[in-house]
Amino acid sequence: MNRRTLLALPAGLAVVALTAGWASAEDRTIAGIVFQQDQFFRTIQLGMEAAAKAAGAELLEANSESKPEKEVNLVDTFVSRGVDAIVISPISATASAPALQRAKDAGVVIVTYNSGVDGDIPVSYLNSSQRDLGETTGKSAAAFIKDQLGGKAKVATLGFKALLPEVSGDRVNGFLDEAGKGGDIDVVSQQDAWLAEKGVAVAGDIITANPDINIIYAANEGGTVGAVQAVRNAGKQGEIFVFGIDGSEQLANFLLDDDNVLQAVTAQQPFEMGSMAVKAALDALDGKEVEKTVIVPVLSLSRTDPAAVEAFKEDLKNLQ
């Protein structure tokens, strides 16, 4: 988590220079909006808070709770309050665009992170490569299928297509493409479940309907937690193995648990994402050049490397 290097996309991507006012950072107010409250977004908020504090700017935090109408109200309210910038993970590339366009038209600097928005609205977009997230976990699964399952696996996936179809598709398809290189995989079920409570129920139903399944892949933290718990509830430890996305203390503990259920996850680096998003907003307000697209590298965590998992947990502890 303390790896601070950010990789830009290939040369040729546009950079932007704004000529907004030249007031000091102490006079700036930044609105930071998340769309759910889990460790990933909380760590993003910690990054935002650190960057704002370092610059002496005011940060106003809000959670849209994955509700489009609440997101619109938050954006419009922040514009009415006269914020200088909005840093946001939009719920929808299309549905979030009108309110953010209104904010931009009102002179508010928009920075998006984690999820994008249609149109030339944000001055900068920061994200992990969604395809890389899925592919990195898929590579771990491919090795597992080849070495532990004899080159054959029955697989189910938990995504979040109804919430963020493009992001979910990249993560799921990236995983399946790479996992398939480990042998013959039969995808028996593909469902949506991105909150842990829903993940337990959906994964449990999948296990009941497919008792010979041996791999569940979940495309985010909540789904991964739910899948692990569903395997435990079914008493299928050692028979069904979980691969996932995102990094948290809970997932790290699952990787270190001797029940052998969770095998590997690929973590984003949310503290860096939140910190750099706020810094991009402040730089844009100060008329500095801002990279239009910034890709934050992903981090592979596996049961086969417990020392790296322990180091990740220590990094998380240091952020608290």
CATH class name, domain 7-127+269-296: alpha beta
Instruction: Give tens-digit pLDDT for 252-303.
Output: 999 999 999 999 999 988 999 999 999 999 999 999 999 999 998 899 999 9
- What the block records as the tokens of 314 is 């220590």
Residues of the chain under the 50 pLDDT cut = 1-23
Instruction: Give tens-digit pLDDT for 166-184.
Output: 889 999 999 999 999 999 9
Domain ranges of the chain: 7-127+269-296, 130-267
In this prediction, residue 236 carries a pLDDT of: 98
H/E element, 244: strand 241-245
Topology agreement, domain 7-127+269-296 and domain 130-267: yes
Residue with tokens 């039969």: 186
Q: Return contacts of 54-59, CB within 8 angstroms, 24+ apart.
A: 55/25, 55/28, 55/278, 55/279, 55/282, 56/24, 56/25, 56/26, 57/25, 57/26, 57/28, 57/29, 57/30, 57/278, 57/282, 58/28, 58/29, 58/30, 59/29, 59/30, 59/31, 59/32, 59/278
| Collapsed DSSP state (helix, strand, coil) of residue 63 | strand
End-to-end CA distance of the chain: 12
**Which CATH code fits 130-267?**
3.40.50.2300
In this prediction, residue 25 carries a pLDDT of: 62
In this prediction, residue 8 carries a pLDDT of: 31
